[in-house]
Amino acid sequence: MELAKVTSKGQVTIPLSIRNFLNLRTGDKLFFFEEKGKVFVQNASQVALATAQKSMKGEAKKAGFKTEEDVMDYIKELRSNS
């Protein structure tokens, strides 16, 4: 458990162990959410990535891609047509 102090401007220094756990770097944004009376903090980049991955799940299969090589070939084809 870590302790932090809130300044008059509402700022908090996030303890190093928590920054490391969340893989936070200077300039990163945090996502705060409340659930059942508890407040959670997540690295916003990781939330965005997880959301994108969830929304795209199964799309490669629908498009007919069976392997990573199929995807790479498709990307190369798109780039050569540009």
Summarize pLDDT for 23-78 with one digit per residue, the tens: 999 999 999 999 999 999 999 988 878 888 888 898 888 888 999 898 899 899 89
If one compares 51 and 80, the residue with the highest pLDDT of the two is 80
Q: How many residues does the chain have?
A: 82
CA dihedral 17→21→25→30, nearest 10 degrees, is -110
